[in-house]
C-alpha cells in the first residue's frame, strides 16, 4: 500500500508544479505581450463582448501632506474629515478598492478602479483635502496582482 501512496503523492506534486509553471507562464506572457498588444500600464486589455462587460482600469493615488512641518489648522482638520467621507463614498460606489495611511508620515495611498485616467485624475483632484491644499496627490496607472482579505 505504501507504493501507491508515494506514486499518488508524486503525481499531486507534479500536478502542482505544472500548475505553478502554467501560472508563471501566463504572468510572464502578459507582462511581455501586454505592451506589444497596445495595452498601456494600468489598463486592462480591450474588452470583448458587450460594453457592460468592459473592465475598468486601476490607478494608484499617492497623497502626502502639503505642509508636513506645519500643524493642521481647524480648517485643515475639517477638510481631513471631508476627505475621509469622500473616500468612503467612493468605496460605497465601487470605485475605491482600498485605501490606507502610513502612520509615520501621514502619507496615504488609494487604489481606484475606474473607466480611465481622466476619471482617476478627476476623483483625485476632487478630494476636499487636495482641493484645500492639505494633501498633494499623484495619480499612477496600477495593476493589482495579489490581494487578500486581511483586516
d(CA 123, CA 100) in angstroms, rounded, equals 16
Model pTM?
A: 0.63
Separation in Å, CA 125 to CA 34, 83, 139? 29, 11, 10
Residues 132 and 82 in one domain: yes
The CATH number of residue 104's host domain is: 3.30.70.1060
**Model confidence over 77-126: pLDDT tens digits?**
999 999 999 999 999 999 999 999 999 999 999 999 999 999 999 999 99
Predicted local confidence at residue 137, as pLDDT: 98
Q: Specify whether the CB–CB gap between 85 and 27 falls below 8 A.
A: no
Q: Judge if 71 and 25 occupy the same domain.
A: no
Tell me whether residue 44 is in a domain: no
Amino acid at each position: 500500500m505504501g507504493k501507491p501512496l508515494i506514486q499518488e503523492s508524486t503525481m499531486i506534486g507534479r500536478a502542482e508544479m505544472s500548475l505553478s509553471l502554467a501560472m508563471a507562464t501566463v504572468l510572464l506572457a502578459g507582462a511581455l505581450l501586454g505592451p506589444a498588444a497596445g495595452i498601456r500600464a494600468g489598463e486592462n486589455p480591450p474588452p470583448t463582448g458587450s460594453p457592460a462587460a468592459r473592465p475598468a482600469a486601476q490607478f494608484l493615488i499617492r497623497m502626502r501632506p502639503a505642509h508636513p512641518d506645519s500643524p493642521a489648522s481647524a480648517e485643515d482638520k475639517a477638510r481631513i474629515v471631508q476627505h475621509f467621507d469622500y473616500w468612503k463614498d467612493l468605496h460605497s460606489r465601487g470605485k475605491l478598492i482600498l485605501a490606507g495611511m502610513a502612520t509615520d508620515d501621514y502619507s496615504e495611498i488609494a487604489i481606484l478602479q475606474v473607466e480611465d485616467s481622466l476619471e482617476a485624475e478627476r476623483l483625485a483632484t476632487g478630494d476636499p483635502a487636495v482641493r484645500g491644499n492639505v494633501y498633494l496627490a499623484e495619480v499612477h496607472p496600477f495593476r493589482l496582482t495579489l490581494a487578500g482579505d486581511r483586516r
